[in-house]
Amino acid sequence: MSKIITIIIAFMSFTLGYITSTFSSQAPSHSQPTNQNQQNPTAESGFLSQLGGEFDQVNSSNVVTLSQQNHNKILEILNNFPQSKINTYLEQAFPEQNLDGIRDKKQFAERLIEEMNQDKDESKTLSGKVFISSNQSISGASAPLNEVHEQQFIYAHFDTYGKVPPNTQVFVKWINQDTQEIVLFSPKYIVENSQQNWVSAVPAKGWKPGKYDVKFYQMTDSLTPIAQSSYTIQSVLK
């Protein structure tokens, strides 16, 4: 399983009650003592079983969209979690990132779950712009990507035009709009005092034809969107 999917499972473990501590294809098994209460199914255990079935689909297809009912239930359960446990899950989900700047980690976790299930919203005008290209050089306009190699890196450049407070990290959501497969869903380090930065990506299983969306957020409690853009891949070379 890809690193991206394990990150998602780590967040969803808020409700399942287990921790994915490494980027691997299986969550660690836990032996639990049996008692009379465990032998009697409850509404909560029924929900977790149903949710687990949805995660199995996530594992097999890389699709991260949950049903709206389960999405709301996740947020409800998360709201009752102690802050210390949320901190632990976030640190294990993003072990290479610095989360010290996130003051309200519960709000941050809620926003992550919301954004995982949110389609592109074109109704809001964002302060920055994103330019898509096949190289690191920014030209001020997106380059056509009608045909790409399967394992080719694609670069998403973004310009804040000085309207966003400087930070050493941004959060990136990069998805296939047609299939809802995730390419990237993670904080990324950037050059702090530069208005222009870029992030590159290539899916673990390679690019597929389709429409893709890239969205950048401020690395803050509220994950405020900075910039967003879409591009289309019509043909993929093996």
Q: Which two tokens stand for residue 45?
A: 């255990």
> Rounded to 5 degrees, what angle do the CA atoms 225, 230, 236 make?
140
Q: Please state, in angstroms and rounded to a whole number, the distance separating the CA atoms of residues 228 and 118.
A: 13
Q: Please state, in angstroms and rounded to a whole number, the distance separating the CA atoms of residues 193 and 178.
A: 35
Which amino acid, residue 87?
N
In a domain? residue 124: no
The last residue of a domain, from among 86, 116, 146: 116
Predicted pLDDT of residue 143: 73
Predicted pLDDT of residue 216: 95
**78 and 33 housed in the same domain:** yes
| CATH (domain of 205) | 2.60.40.1930
**137 and 86 housed in the same domain:** no
**102 and 20 housed in the same domain:** yes
Q: Please state, in angstroms and rounded to a whole number, the distance separating the CA atoms of residues 46 and 203.
A: 34
Predicted pLDDT of residue 125: 79
Domain that holds residue 148: 129-237
The count of structural domains within the chain is: 2
Cβ burial 51-74 (10 Å sphere, 16+ → b, else e): beebbeebbeebbbbbeeebbebb
In a domain? residue 85: yes
Predicted pLDDT of residue 236: 96
Predicted pLDDT of residue 200: 93
In a domain? residue 122: no
Q: Please state, in angstroms and rounded to a whole number, the distance separating the CA atoms of residues 207 and 230.
A: 15
Average pLDDT along the chain, 238 residues, taken 10 residues at a time: 41 38 32 40 46 45 59 77 84 86 90 76 76 82 83 93 88 91 90 86 93 94 93 94
Contact, 4 vs 183, CB < 8 A? yes
Q: Please state, in angstroms and rounded to a whole number, the distance separating the CA atoms of residues 175 and 185.
A: 8
**137 and 83 housed in the same domain:** no
**93 and 150 housed in the same domain:** no
Predicted pLDDT of residue 67: 64
Question: In terms of C-beta density within 10 A (0-12 exposed, 13-18 middle, 19 or more buried), how is residue 224 classed?
Answer: middle
Can you give the pTM of this predicted structure? 0.73
Predicted pLDDT of residue 179: 87
